[in-house]
Structure 1
Amino acid sequence: MLNNIRSKQVILIIAILLLGGFLFTRDVKGLVKPKDEAGQIPTNGQATASSTPQITIEEVSTTAKNLVSSATAKEIIALENSYKSASEGDKITNAKTLAQKWDDVEQSVPSAMYLEVVANNEGTLSNWLDAGTRFLKAFDNTQDSLIQPAMLQKANNAFTKALAIDTSSNDAKTGLGITIVNGLGAPMSGIAMLLEVVKKDPKNLKANMNLGMFAIKSGQFDKAIIRFNDIISNIKATPDAYFYLATAYENLGKNTEAIDAYLNSKKLAANPTLSGFIDKKVAELKNKR
């Protein structure tokens, strides 16, 4: 009986995590359980060319234009024409402009692709970190089963190149660890990389959030509670930290604590969609007490 209840809770938590990822920063993608390690992309963290769909800027740009207003699409077409006809010296400047424009309208896939162009031509640590971060955002934001693995692989590649430039970069290690945990290698090796970052920088928000997320996805709810409480008390009390803390409490049947955490998330987020979801969740939990 207990196993059946816990199974239902895990199913529920996955749905909640997806909602949370949609409503908040989307920096913390639902992570892979350790038992899913078998059958993943090779453990060196690099996918083979045959395992990852090949995409072009033209393809993703065409798709993205259908998701923005006609006025914005026309503006982007003009910018793209300037990019294509620009001299080599001006091309990078135009690519940066296009990356920003696409990001302004929440189209992270083409935005990331243009940042990759910039990094390939100006291979600085900052440029590769920017590209990797945008690719992770694109990975989180898209539901396209072909685009998602391509975005994750490109993020992995960008953070790998960033780490090659500066082996001490916590941002590069964190990003690379996230891509590994999400499927580009053995999840525990990614966790080890995130733990290394936290050991060096205990208040690294992104690394700590992803470790907390992994604890939830792997059913280690006690560890998740410790992690998210520490984030809230010592790093930053964010709405998503409270939200995931609430889901961990809920999975352990600690409904009073879960309600408090959900309400704190609602208060900080001030998001109408989230507020409606939490109101229903709190009502359900109150009926169980």
Structure 2
Amino acid sequence: MNSSIRSKQIIIIGAVLLLVAFLFTRDIKGLVKPTEENGKMPANGQMAGAETPSTSSVLSIETSSIAAKNVLNKSLATDITALENSYKGANGAEKIELAKQLAQKWDDVEQITPSALYLEVVAQSEPSTKTWVAAGNKFIKAFESTQDSLAQPALLQKANTSYKNALEKDSTNIEAKTGLGVTIVNGLGAPMQGIAMLLEVVAKEPKNVKANMNLGIFSIKSGQFDKAIPRFNTVIATSPTPEAYFYLGTALENLGRNKEAVDAYLNSKKLAADPTLSSFIDKKVAELKNKN
């Protein structure tokens, strides 16, 4: 019996992780528009800003720009190319100002990776907690959005480095510590080290959305569904999102609380307003109602 229950839970978790990949390729605010695409402290002798050769070769402004322009209309691509040419020919303060403009321009058209890379340029030239956190947050978003298996570790590493640099400026910064914990949990270090950092964050800020969301996701991945539920409820109380409701439904379903799971899934569907997700949830809801 226990073996059968465990097998069903594993199957459900697998399905959830596949859907997570779908969720993260959609606009986080509404899941309507398709988009592009661990933190040990540096080892002795390793600079916090150092990049591995593989990271540098996989990600560059040039290659990311070319790939991103492939999904833009010709007019937008032409406008960005003109701005990039100005950036290449500029120096000093003018070049940094153009980097800021390009970061915003790419963000406006929902091309996250080139936006993150320009924010990194800004942070390198104007290093501060604020600029490094901005770069780290954008790299994390790019990591969550891309389906490129080569780019994912490089983006995660850049996020990790950015947050470390932010913490070097201000070791008490909650946003940087949260981001660093997220990178650890996602593979750059021992997961429990990242969990400890995120728990430290919620001890200081119990309603921190990013920390609670990632603690909840980790609980689902590790089969600790009872621990996941209060995390997602905290997120929903502060900032309800389709993802939070969907994960909550998953945790409730795995605990046999099917009626509550249905309610959570339907809330996810309502907020997302996405046909693909709606179809998935409709099937899931019908399945759960048949179990009652």
Q: TM-score, normalised by structure 1?
A: 0.88
In the alignment, structure 1 residue 2 sits paired with structure 2 residue 5:
yes
**Structure 1 equivalent of residue 252 of structure 2:** 249
CA distance 1:197–1:160, shift in 2 (3 Å): same
- Considering only aligned residues, what root-mean-square deviation do their CA atoms show, in Å? 2.1
3-state SS of paired residue (1:185): coil
**Amino acid of the residue matched to residue 154 of structure 1?**
K
Q: Report the Cα distance in structure 1 between the residues aligned to 2:163 and 2:51, rounded to whole angstroms.
A: 17
Instruction: Write out aligned runs for 1:7-156 (5 A).
Output: 7-23=10-26, 25=28, 44=41, 49=52, 52=55, 54=57, 55-156=59-160
**Structure 1 equivalent of residue 201 of structure 2:** 197
CA contact (8 A) 2:252 2:258 kept: yes
Q: Report the Cα distance in structure 2 between the residues aligned to 1:240 and 1:213, rounded to whole angstroms.
A: 10
**Amino acid of the residue matched to residue 260 of structure 1?**
D
**Amino acid of the residue matched to residue 257 of structure 1?**
E
CA contact (8 A) 1:45 1:184 kept: no
3-state SS of paired residue (1:22): coil
**Amino acid of the residue matched to residue 210 of structure 1?**
N
CA contact (8 A) 2:39 2:194 kept: no
3-state SS of paired residue (1:250): helix
Q: Report the Cα distance in structure 2 between the residues aligned to 1:202 and 1:133, rounded to whole angstroms.
A: 20
Q: Report the Cα distance in structure 1 between the residues aligned to 2:271 and 2:18, rounded to whole angstroms.
A: 21
CA distance 1:193–1:154, shift in 2 (3 Å): same
* More displaced stretch, 117-126 vs 2-11: 2-11
* More displaced stretch, 50-59 vs 8-17: 50-59
**Structure 2 equivalent of residue 225 of structure 1:** 229
**Structure 2 equivalent of residue 266 of structure 1:** 269
CA contact (8 A) 1:23 1:274 kept: no
Query: In percent, how many aligned pairs have the same letter?
Result: 58
Q: Report the Cα distance in structure 1 between the residues aligned to 2:136 and 2:190, rounded to whole angstroms.
A: 20
* More displaced stretch, 277-286 vs 199-208: 277-286
Q: 1:272 deviation in Å?
A: 3.6
Q: Report the Cα distance in structure 1 between the residues aligned to 2:265 and 2:39, rounded to whole angstroms.
A: 38
**Structure 1 equivalent of residue 180 of structure 2:** 176
In the alignment, structure 1 residue 166 sits paired with structure 2 residue 170:
yes
**Structure 1 equivalent of residue 32 of structure 2:** none
Note the alpha carbon deviations across 1:79-128, whole angstroms, 9 max, x for none. Answer: 01100111322000000111111111111111110000000000011111
CA contact (8 A) 2:132 2:166 kept: yes
Matched residue count: 274
Note the alpha carbon deviations across 1:53-74, whole angstroms, 9 max, x for none. Answer: 5232111111111121111111
CA distance 1:130–1:43, shift in 2 (3 Å): closer
CA contact (8 A) 2:39 2:188 kept: yes
Q: 1:7 deviation in Å?
A: 2.5
**Structure 1 equivalent of residue 33 of structure 2:** none
Q: 1:142 deviation in Å?
A: 1.2
CA distance 1:13–1:60, shift in 2 (3 Å): same
**Structure 2 equivalent of residue 187 of structure 1:** 191
- Which of 240, 243, 251 does residue 240 from structure 1 map onto? 243
Runs of 4+ with >4 A deviation: 41-48
List alignment gaps of at least 5 residues for structure 2. 30-37, 44-49
**Amino acid of the residue matched to residue 85 of structure 2?**
N
3-state SS of paired residue (2:124): helix
CA distance 1:159–1:117, shift in 2 (3 Å): same
**Amino acid of the residue matched to residue 95 of structure 1?**
A
Q: TM-score, normalised by structure 2?
A: 0.87
Q: Report the Cα distance in structure 2 between the residues aligned to 1:162 and 1:76, rounded to whole angstroms.
A: 29
**Structure 2 equivalent of residue 282 of structure 1:** 285
